[in-house]
Amino acid sequence: GEDVEQSLFLSVREGDSSVINCTYTDSSSTYLYWYKQEPGAGLQLLTYIFSNMDMKQDQRLTVLLNKKDKHLSLRIADTQTGDSAIYFCAAGGYSSASKIIFGSGTRLSIRP
């Protein structure tokens, strides 16, 4: 079945760039999402990319997609303490009838 995988933890120094990686198995995935979850809160949509794009940039966030390898990454430039959270990758099909599958989340911690 469909699967989305992420590493569980990432620690970076404040001011450095963070890169969170994700792989997915369903080659028909059309929408690839990144969400942020802060403690005790819901999931906040950060950004998403269509499968016909290689890159999307939004302020400090850059998403890269390698469709051939089914690999997605989220780069956060100039990482700040407020970026500490769990980041989820998700993959879904084009149709509104498609399921959307989430990875297990990557916990990002920031070192001073």
Candidates 13-21, 58-66, 67-75, 96-104 — which segment interacts with other proteins by CB under 8 A? 96-104
Q: Contacting other proteins (CB under 8 A), which of 27, 52, 59, 96? A: 96
Return the structure tokens found at 33: 């999402």
User: Using the rule CB under 8 A, is 24 a contact of other proteins?
Assistant: no
Cα–Cα distance measured from residue 37 to residue 48, given in angstroms and rounded to the nearest whole number: 15
Question: 96: which DSSP letter?
Answer: T
Closest approach of Cβ 78 to other proteins, in Å? 26
User: Using the rule CB under 8 A, is 33 a contact of other proteins?
Assistant: yes
Beta strand 9-13 with 106-111: parallel, antiparallel or unpaired? parallel
- Give me the half-sphere count of Cα atoms (radius 13 Å) on the Cβ side of residue 33: 19
Binding stretches for other proteins (CB under 8 A): 30-31, 33, 35, 41-45, 48, 88, 90, 92, 94, 96-97, 99-105
